[in-house]
């Protein structure tokens, strides 16, 4: 029998987010509403993102192999609907539009993300 958590997960081919790793986002809801931060990682199948310095919790850790016991600060995931991408050009929180343009040496049609406010493309960040 499948658990409730397994039912909530999207199939991998349907898992797409408007937020990418490296984007600066504004938190819209929750205890950290109004804060801005950089997306450290995305979890497309669960519709969650981890934002730097947002949604911090205290975790009590037990001493283990080479680790010291104590209380650590840990960043927990936020639901993707609670964050909004900040445009790299105008610096304002915005929704995302997709535009098909010829790109690359082969001039193949590819999509790029565009700011709905200023209409300029949102810079893609290099993957670390």
- Model pTM? 0.80
Alpha-carbon span 37 to 64, nearest angstrom = 32
> In 35-55, which positions are buried (b, 16+ CB within 10 angstroms) versus exposed (e)?
ebbbbbebebeebbbbbeebb
Edge to edge, the sheet with strand 78-79 lists 78-79, 48-51, 36-43, 24-27, 83-85
pLDDT value for 14: 74
Alpha-carbon span 12 to 34, nearest angstrom = 31
The encoded tokens of residue 44 equal 């497309």
Q: Going from the N-terminus, what domains does the chain have, and what CATH number goes with each?
A: 4-86 (2.30.30.30), 94-128 (no CATH)
pLDDT value for 92: 93
User: How confident is the model over 71-126, as pLDDT tens digits?
Assistant: 999 999 999 999 999 998 888 999 999 988 888 788 888 888 999 888 898 887 76
User: How confident is the model over 18-38, as pLDDT tens digits?
Assistant: 899 999 999 999 999 999 999
pLDDT value for 127: 56
Alpha-carbon span 31 to 13, nearest angstrom = 32
Alpha-carbon span 27 to 32, nearest angstrom = 7
pLDDT value for 12: 73
């Amino acid at each position: 029998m499948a658990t409730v958590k397994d039912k909530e997960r999207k199939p991998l081919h349907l898992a797409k987010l408007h937020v990418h790793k490296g984007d600066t986002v504004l938190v819209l809801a929750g205890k950290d509403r109004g804060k801005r931060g950089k997306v450290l990682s995305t979890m497309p199948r669960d519709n969650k993102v981890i934002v730097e310095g947002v949604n911090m919790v205290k975790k009590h850790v037990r001493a283990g192999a080479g680790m010291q016991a104590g209380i650590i600060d840990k960043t927990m995931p936020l639901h993707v609907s609670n964050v909004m991408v900040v445009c790299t050009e105008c610096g304002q929180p915005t929704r995302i539009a997709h535009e098909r343009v010829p790109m690359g040496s082969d001039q193949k049609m590819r999509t790029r993300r565009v700011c709905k406010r200023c209409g300029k493309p949102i810079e893609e960040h290099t993957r670390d």
